[in-house]
């Protein structure tokens, strides 16, 4: 069975994210310091070798065998002892004559056949190189020393070699001291980083504890006054999610409460009607007619409540909704309710312009249908009903104008409240509430105003404004 993946700790990420680059930088810095120390030690000991070579050069003289000048060296090994450091390194030398012949020193010391560097930090013809002698690594200084005398002059080659025991010892000491100091520095940095990370994540742990200790159903906003500014967007986003969840739960509770309240009465009436029909208290056809009316009313209430609940989904699907032509939807709804218009013998006309709206088709259809249905139910027989959909400044405006009695002062205060029907026999009072929720979810506005003819109300204008797509 595959074990679930555990997300890494924020403290671990911060600690490793800070320490790894620091440790890598310190390691590189330690290596760099060690190399610089080695070069400084080599330079110091190389100067000692050069001093030894110069001391030997001062003991050279030129003699003559009658035919040509020869180089003669009177060098005692004891003269080199002052240059040996605390008996841990040994010095060897070799002096070669004008023609490369062996003059003095260790004959088996390899002769120099190299070239002098083009640029040298020393005021002498000197070069340094690494070699092996008698199976050991050595550091060699070669000095080209001009020698002149009565018998002649020439260039002597002086080689002074030193074993590397002292250099290796010094290198180990340098490395050990460097590593100890850097290790102590890393330890201090680790302690500081851990303390800082612990302190920086303390508000998060407090917030987590606060959320865990909340009682079930507590959807109040998260309060984190001591959280740093970098955490504030997370706190704000959490509060937004909590607010949306609270709104959804409130909507769900309201839906259940309203459904139980609104469907209880039709179902009770239906049960009474069925019992009356079974007992023969009313005629069968009359009982069926009453039952049909009650079922139709219950069905209408249920459908409208489901539509009202479905509108809540629109608030979270604005970007994913397609573009619909509101004009086509309006004409299609007007065609659907044409029998009702004909039954009321209304003076009807419609005027539309293309109006692309980002919305689901059912939402625009439900909005338009409820407004037109409202207008038909409140317009007297033979009255006038006018529908106009126009586009103005990136906004589509739908106006449904009827010639009904308009709104009373009491109705205006409860205009978009659910179940606030002016006449319960004409509806459940959910139509305008559905329209209001749909318009709000589409970032629009809706208003109902009485149309006055002098001092008298001549009808009602329902006006909806929705932003055009794009």
pLDDT truncated to tens, each residue of the chain (470 aa)?
Answer: 455 556 667 777 777 888 888 888 888 888 887 788 778 878 888 888 888 888 888 878 888 766 677 777 776 555 555 555 555 678 888 888 888 888 888 888 888 888 888 777 777 788 889 899 988 999 999 998 888 877 778 888 889 998 888 888 887 888 788 888 888 888 888 888 888 888 877 877 787 787 788 787 777 887 777 777 777 888 888 888 888 788 777 767 766 666 665 566 677 777 777 887 787 777 777 878 878 877 777 776 676 666 666 666 666 555 567 888 999 999 999 998 898 899 999 999 999 999 999 888 888 888 898 899 889 988 999 999 999 999 988 999 999 999 988 888 777 776 767 655 544 444 456 678 778 888 888 889 999 999 888 788 889 999 999 999 87
**List of long-range contacts for 329-332, beta carbons under 8 Å, 24+ apart:** 329/361, 329/364, 329/365, 329/368, 330/368, 330/387, 330/389, 330/398, 332/365
> Looking at the structure, do residues 294 and 331 belong to the same domain, yes or no?
no
Please tell me the pTM assigned to this model. Answer: 0.48
> Looking at the structure, do residues 382 and 250 belong to the same domain, yes or no?
no
Structural domain range at position 339: 323-467
**Using CB atoms within 10 A of its CB, is residue 311 exposed (0-12), middle (13-18) or buried (19+)?**
buried
> Looking at the structure, do residues 327 and 438 belong to the same domain, yes or no?
yes
Residue 226 in any domain: the answer is no
Q: Which CATH number is 363's domain given?
A: 3.30.565.10
Phi-psi region of 149 (alpha: psi -120 to 50; beta: other; left: phi over 0): beta
What is the distance between the alpha carbons of residues 267 and 302, in angstroms, rounded to a whole number?
12
What is the distance between the alpha carbons of residues 143 and 160, in angstroms, rounded to a whole number?
8
Residue 461 in any domain: the answer is yes
Domain's final residue, options 148, 172, 196: 172
DSSP SS3 for 187 = helix
> Looking at the structure, do residues 337 and 368 belong to the same domain, yes or no?
yes
Q: Which CATH number is 289's domain given?
A: 1.10.287
Our count of domains for the chain comes to 3
Residue 463 in any domain: the answer is yes
DSSP SS3 for 438 = helix
pLDDT at 320: 64
Phi then psi for 88, rounded to 5 degrees?
Answer: -100, -5
Residue 333 in any domain: the answer is yes
> Looking at the structure, do residues 43 and 166 belong to the same domain, yes or no?
yes
Residue 48 in any domain: the answer is yes
Residue 75 in any domain: the answer is yes
What is the C-alpha end-to-end distance of the chain, expressed in Å?
A: 50
> Looking at the structure, do residues 159 and 31 belong to the same domain, yes or no?
yes
> Looking at the structure, do residues 64 and 160 belong to the same domain, yes or no?
yes
> Looking at the structure, do residues 113 and 84 belong to the same domain, yes or no?
yes
DSSP of 190-209, one letter per residue? HHHHHHHHHHHTHHHHHHHH
Domain's final residue, options 313, 339, 359: 313
> Looking at the structure, do residues 334 and 455 belong to the same domain, yes or no?
yes
What is the distance between the alpha carbons of residues 432 and 463, in angstroms, rounded to a whole number?
12
Residue 207 in any domain: the answer is no
> Looking at the structure, do residues 165 and 21 belong to the same domain, yes or no?
yes
pLDDT at 424: 44
Residue 63 host element (H or E): strand 60-64
**Using CB atoms within 10 A of its CB, is residue 367 exposed (0-12), middle (13-18) or buried (19+)?**
buried
Structure tokens at 106: 């260790």
Domain's final residue, options 262, 294, 313: 313
pLDDT at 263: 65
> Looking at the structure, do residues 125 and 273 belong to the same domain, yes or no?
no
Residue 220 in any domain: the answer is no
Handedness of CA 109, 113, 116, 118 (dihedral sign): negative
> Looking at the structure, do residues 264 and 346 belong to the same domain, yes or no?
no
């Amino acid at each position: 069975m595959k074990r679930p993946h555990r997300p890494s700790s924020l403290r671990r990420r911060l600690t490793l994210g800070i320490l790894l680059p620091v440790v890598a930088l310190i390691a590189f810095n330690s290596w760099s310091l060690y190399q610089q120390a080695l070069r400084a030690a080599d330079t110091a000991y190389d100067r000692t070798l050069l001093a030894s070579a110069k001391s030997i050069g001062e003991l050279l003289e030129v003699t003559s065998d009658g035919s040509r000048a020869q180089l003669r060296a009177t060098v005692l090994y004891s003269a080199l002892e002052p240059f040996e450091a605390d008996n841990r390194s040994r010095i060897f030398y070799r002096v070669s004559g004008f023609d490369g012949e062996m003059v003095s020193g260790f004959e088996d010391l390899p002769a120099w056949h190299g070239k002098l560097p083009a640029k040298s930090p020393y005021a002498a013809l000197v070069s340094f190189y690494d070699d092996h002698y008698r199976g050991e690594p050595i550091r060699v200084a070669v000095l080209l020393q001009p020698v002149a005398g009565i018998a002649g002059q020439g260039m002597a080659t002086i080689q002074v070699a030193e074993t590397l025991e002292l250099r290796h010892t010094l290198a180990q000491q340098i490395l050990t001291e460097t590593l100890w100091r850097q290790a102590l520095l890393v330890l201090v940095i680790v302690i500081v980083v851990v303390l800082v990370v612990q302190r920086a994540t303390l508000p998060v742990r407090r917030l987590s504890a606060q959320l865990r200790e909340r009682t079930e159903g507590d959807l109040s906003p998260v309060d984190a006054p001591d959280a740093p500014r970098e955490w504030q967007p997370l706190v704000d986003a959490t509060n937004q999610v909590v607010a949306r969840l609270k709104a959804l739960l409130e909507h769900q509770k309201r839906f259940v409460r309203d459904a139980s309240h609104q469907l209880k009465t039709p179902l009770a009436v239906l049960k009474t009607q069925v019992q009356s029909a079974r007992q023969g208290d009313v005629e069968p056809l009359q009982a069926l007619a009453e039952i049909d009316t009650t079922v139709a009313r219950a069905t209408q209430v249920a459908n409208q409540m489901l539509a009202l609940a479905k509108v809540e989904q629109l608030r979270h699907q604005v970007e994913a909704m397609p573009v619909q032509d509101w004009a086509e939807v309006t004409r299609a709804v007007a065609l659907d309710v044409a029998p009702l218009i004909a039954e009321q013998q209304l003076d009807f006309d419609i005027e539309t312009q293309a109006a692309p709206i980002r919305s689901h088709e059912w939402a625009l259809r439900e909005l338009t249908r409820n407004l037109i249905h409202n207008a038909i139910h409140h317009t007297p027989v033979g009255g006038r009903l006018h529908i106009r959909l126009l586009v103005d400044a990136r906004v589509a405006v739908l106006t449904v104008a009827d010639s009904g009695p308009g709104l009373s002062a009491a109705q205006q205060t409860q205009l978009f409240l659910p179940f606030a029907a002016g006449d319960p026999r004409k509806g459940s009072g959910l139509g305008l509430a559905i329209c209001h929720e749909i318009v709000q979810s589409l970032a629009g506005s809706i208003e109902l105003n009485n149309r006055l003819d002098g001092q008298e109300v001549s009808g009602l204008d329902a006006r909806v404004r929705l932003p055009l797509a794009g």
